[in-house]
A and B are shown apart, each in its own frame.
Chain A
Amino acid sequence: MSSSSGYAVEAVDVKKTYGGVSALKGVDIRIPQGSIYGLIGPNGAGKSTLFDILCGITKPTSGTVNVMGMDVAALPAYEVARRGVGRTFQRTAIFGHSTVYENLLYASYGRMRHSAVHRLLRLPVWREDMNTFADKARDVLAVCGLTELRDQLASALAYGIQRRLAVAIMLMNDPKIIFLDEPVAGMNEVETADFIQLLRAISGRRTIVIVEHDMAAIGALCDEVMVMVDGRQLVTDAPERALKHPDVVAAYLGASDDELV
């Protein structure tokens, strides 16, 4: 499924306009397979729009978007998800009215094959599904450090733990590429450090794309970052060099104080 070029994401000249206002003015982006890639820039730079386009939730006005060898602009969002693209949301990332374990159960929808009839008659298909699920859930819970919290109600968990659960939910589908929308926003230092460790642990051969305002986290995690300003890419480089680039410094100084990180 992955493209032969060695890139997990290849997008060319992506444009997006909302009723006459252009949010993206032609962006090219190449994300190498297995890398951790950051998207940064001041508010309104278009990074969230690009992010939504890459994971198939928003359709671009023009341009080609190829993620893991598929044309995501042509597929419905749920289909993109089924083919190995995972993402977390800033807010609605967990099922609050259910337990941690139930959250994982809902998340394994894509890996299950049984119908209500199989369940009713306790047929082998259902048994296999549930056994595979139990194994997978055990692993994911262990990786994310949630084993003890299995039967807790998700909405009752601490914020940092909820973000871990969001990652666990995503991991149930074994995504090949993961999109994280401001994963450490609102976390304290300890939680951030823990979370970075978790992301390192799960990265392996997966590609991870992050939109984030926390430059320390970006610096600690990413192999490469793209700095966006005003719907365009400004600089693409390793984080330590990109952040010192004169254009980037100028762009951030040009922004008002509260947009600075």
Chain B
Amino acid sequence: MTESSIALKAQGSRGVVPWKQVLLLGSVVALVLGIGLGADSPFLLSLAGYTCGFALFAVSVNVMLGGIGEVPLGHCMFFGIGAYAPAIAMNHLGLPYEAGILLGMGFSAVLAVLIGWLTLKLTGAYFSIVSWGLSGVAMVTALNLEITGGPLGLFGFTRLAIGPFDLSDPRTYFFATAAILLLVLIVLANVRSSRFGNALESIRQGRHLAQSLGINVFRERLKALVFSAPIAALAGALCIPYTQIVTPEVMSVLRTVDALLAVLIGGTGLLFGPVIGAVIFTILPQFLQFDPNVKVLVFSLIIIFIMVVAPGGLHQLFKLIERRLEKRSEGRA
């Protein structure tokens, strides 16, 4: 056996053999190209772009939910910071969109260190309450400050472009967000199978055992938050070309609820789970022409249903049905 094959085998059942990775990557790229070049409707393309941005946020939420088993109700704050930063940078500071994105990501990372340092000693409901509370404070702040445009928010942005790619063109917007999402997923896949990812998984399963193995539980949890916050901020920034406006509502806890839904539908344990969930979650209501409140009602009920029947996500539900059907057919035979 060569060195690398041992190393890859060492990844256990969660690891992926390279050709499989390449195949997966190839088919995803083909899918993105297919949608991007095949779809003609500007509306569909920008909706697809927004879906990628939202999926990015769901992925970030899942770093907390699937990663360390906490429910980050206030994660919408980082999303909001990511959206406000380029808006403020463009409208008040005369900086370009890209600089604003980086500022937002940097600021959210710093804030995550501070917040995590204060709050990650708490777990469970206590952590969720504080997290929710912080996003509440952030929303009131955005409502009251002048630089955020108060309740009206910020709009009328000049040039939403990353380098030569003009995101106001729906097709470019979709390709850019899809590429970024893919990049983040590749990084995340590697993080999950690294020492850090293993530490997180062990903490999620058993904090005390992890500690007895020499893992600094608090620091690893903090790292998870600091890792996920800039991803949320990036997601917030990438949603601007679709929404064209940033209001205090971006920090609403409903945003987190949406992402939690996407994560739970797709499954917390899977890398692609949040993305699949986000696609279902944004595309379906568009086609069914849901009123926003019907959407909240329906999806909240779906969350409850999933949690009651299949806490591991829809794929667990499919397995459950499969098993039932098998049993039934065995019974007949």
Contact = CB atoms under 8 A, between A and B. Distances in A.
- Direct contact, A vs B (beta carbon within 8 Å): yes
Given A98-B205, A127-B4, A173 B196 contact: no
A130 B213 contact: no
Interface in A93-152: 93-99, 101-102, 105-107, 109-110, 112, 114-116, 118-120, 122, 126-127, 129-131, 133-134, 137, 151
B7 interface: yes
B202 A106 contact: yes
A133 B10 contact: yes
A159 interface: no
B318 to A, nearest CB: 19
Chain B interface helix/strand/loop/mixed = helix
A245 B12 CA distance: 52
Interface in B173-219: 187, 190-191, 193-199, 201-202, 205-206, 208-217
A51 to B, nearest CB: 13
A94 B209 contact: yes
A127 B12 contact: no
Nearest to B199: A109
B93 interface: no
A2 B214 CA distance: 19
A92 interface: yes
A160 interface: no
B330 interface: no
A82 B213 CA distance: 7
A127 B7 contact: yes
Nearest to B9: A134
B210 A106 contact: yes
A105 B190 contact: no
A167 B190 CA distance: 29
A120 B195 contact: no
Contacts of B10: 105, 130-131, 133-134, 137
B145 interface: no
B210 A130 contact: no
Contact of A96 (B6, B205, B212): B205
A81 interface: yes
28 contacts: A78-B216, A81-B214, A86-B212, A92-B206, A92-B209, A95-B202, A95-B209, A99-B12, A101-B13, A102-B12, A102-B201, A105-B198, A106-B201, A106-B210, A107-B213, A109-B202, A114-B194, A114-B195, A115-B194, A116-B194, A116-B195, A119-B191, A120-B187, A131-B3, A131-B7, A169-B209, A169-B213, A173-B213
**Which 4 pairs show the lowest CB-CB distances between chains A and B?**
A119-B194, A130-B7, A106-B202, A82-B214
Interface of B: 3-4, 6-7, 9-14, 187, 190-191, 193-199, 201-202, 205-206, 208-217
Given A81-B213, A98-B201, A109-B202, 15 more contacts: A78-B211, A78-B214, A78-B215, A89-B212, A95-B202, A102-B201, A106-B201, A107-B213, A109-B213, A114-B194, A115-B194, A116-B187, A120-B187, A120-B191, A130-B11
